[in-house]
Amino acid sequence: MSADPRRRIPRTDHLLAHPDVAAAAQVLSEHVVRGIVRGAQERARRGEIAAEAVLEEIRSALGGRPAGSLRPVLNATGVIVHTNLGRAPLSPAARAALQDAAGYTDVEFDLAAGVRSRRGAGARAALLAACPEAEDALIVNNGAAALALATTALAGTDEVILSRGELIEIGAGFRLPELITSTGARLREVGTTNRTHLADYTAALGPSTGCVLRVHTSNYRVIGFTSEVAVAELAGPCREAGVPLVADLGSGLLEPEPRLPAEPAAAAALRDGADLVIASGDKLLGGPQAGILLGRAEIIARLARHPLARAMRADKLTLAALEATLRGPVPPVLEALRLDPDALRERTAALADRLGGRLVAHEGRVGGGGGAEVPLPGWALALDPALAAPLRTGDPAVVATVRDDCCLLDLRCVPAEEDARLEAAVRTARTRLDPAGAQR
């Protein structure tokens, strides 16, 4: 009678002591490594692999596996602030600041005096230096949190006046009116979808008004027979009524951007009389995910004192990356936005020559709800559409656009120093698609 082959399965302690497995335990937790070992042993017990293949199965599962599951991606879509790809890529300065902030830091401690200090003082000071029109600033964990905090602290159960033309739904079915009413505030809609006048706002102002809200329609445009009321027009009536005027700008521009003349900026809104401006840190500002609140000192103080401010506060990594974004060089988002089309054409043409693809005109986009319908003239490399899938699943992962029966690689958001890796990724994808080398 032959011996049970399961007896040949290596013992757990022997497998864990193997140098390759022990090395993996320096990157992954003991729980994860043991789970992989047990999984291979169970496969052998079920007869799915031979007992002698257990160690190789473990090596394969552990090989190069990081502790986290997020994978770096080369964004070849031409969409700068790509929400599905993590929005703004951080600058080298912000990445270095993240590394420095990963351990113990003085985020809420005065090293000179040896006492507790105001949290994130450096990031706040950087914001005020970049937007001197603001008397004070507050940083929370994202733009939605900033709007929820503002409406909760300023309106409570009173009314938030908002134009019907600004009842916005953003990605994944997230609706700003529902966010506002979830705080307990009552929404007072004024005007119509396409036309709202100053008289609509002034007629709604009253003892039950908590604040007036202007929301930039960042991810769509209403054209034709339209009318809207500028912040500068609203500021006087709001001031006379003693009602805060809040401008949610979304995209994160602190100063006007020549490439996007219709995109509102925080500094301009404050100069026009807004009491509070709300913006996102990970869009056109080019920093980490954050909700930025800028405005009158008294308004910011009200928000900072509210209990929700603690629940929504930004962590040390966000504060460090935001400060470095503001104090450092031009971030990648603005570099991509301001990219010279001729330089983009030259890079793309050179890649087309090396890979045998076609150079085609291609319009990039701002993305992330900014610069709606504003094209960014540029160029792309057109390849076989079948390459899109192996590019996405390759190493590095490359996300392209499939359109007009082409796989389009737009280099606008790909750093020039990554061109060689992108080229290698295309060659590898072709090999995976056709190992015989017929697909070229």
Q: Are 248 and 180 in contact (CB under 8 A)?
A: no
pLDDT higher than 80, residue 56: yes
Q: Are residues 128 and 153 in the same domain?
A: yes
Q: Are residues 29 and 142 in the same domain?
A: no
Q: Band of the pLDDT at 439, cuts 50, 70, 90?
A: very low
Task: Output the domain CATH number for residue 226.
Answer: 3.40.640.10
Specify if 354 maps to a domain. yes
373-391 pLDDT per residue, tens:
889 999 999 999 999 999 9
The count of domains in the chain is 3
188-223 pLDDT per residue, tens:
999 999 999 999 999 999 999 999 999 998 778 888
Specify if 68 maps to a domain. no
Q: Band of the pLDDT at 399, cuts 50, 70, 90?
A: very high
Q: Are residues 169 and 32 in the same domain?
A: no
For residue 190, list its beta bridge partners. 163
Specify if 131 maps to a domain. yes
Report yes or no on whether pTM surpasses 0.85. Answer: yes
Q: Are residues 308 and 180 in the same domain?
A: yes
**What pLDDT sits at residue 65?**
75
Q: Are residues 233 and 249 in the same domain?
A: yes
Domain that holds residue 286: 92-328
**What pLDDT sits at residue 2?**
56
Domain boundary among 285, 304, 328: 328
What is the pLDDT of the chain when averaged over all its residues? 93
Specify if 295 maps to a domain. yes
Q: Are residues 378 and 411 in the same domain?
A: yes
Q: Are residues 17 and 165 in the same domain?
A: no
Q: Are residues 13 and 151 in the same domain?
A: no
Q: Are residues 284 and 396 in the same domain?
A: no
Q: Are residues 324 and 348 in the same domain?
A: no
Specify if 98 maps to a domain. yes
Domain boundary among 311, 328, 345: 328
Specify if 439 maps to a domain. no
Q: Are residues 283 and 339 in the same domain?
A: no
Specify if 347 maps to a domain. yes
Specify if 67 maps to a domain. no
Q: Are residues 174 and 281 in the same domain?
A: yes
pLDDT higher than 70, residue 335: yes
Distances 322 to 141, 277, 284, 285, 433 between C-alpha atoms, Å: 11, 17, 13, 9, 42
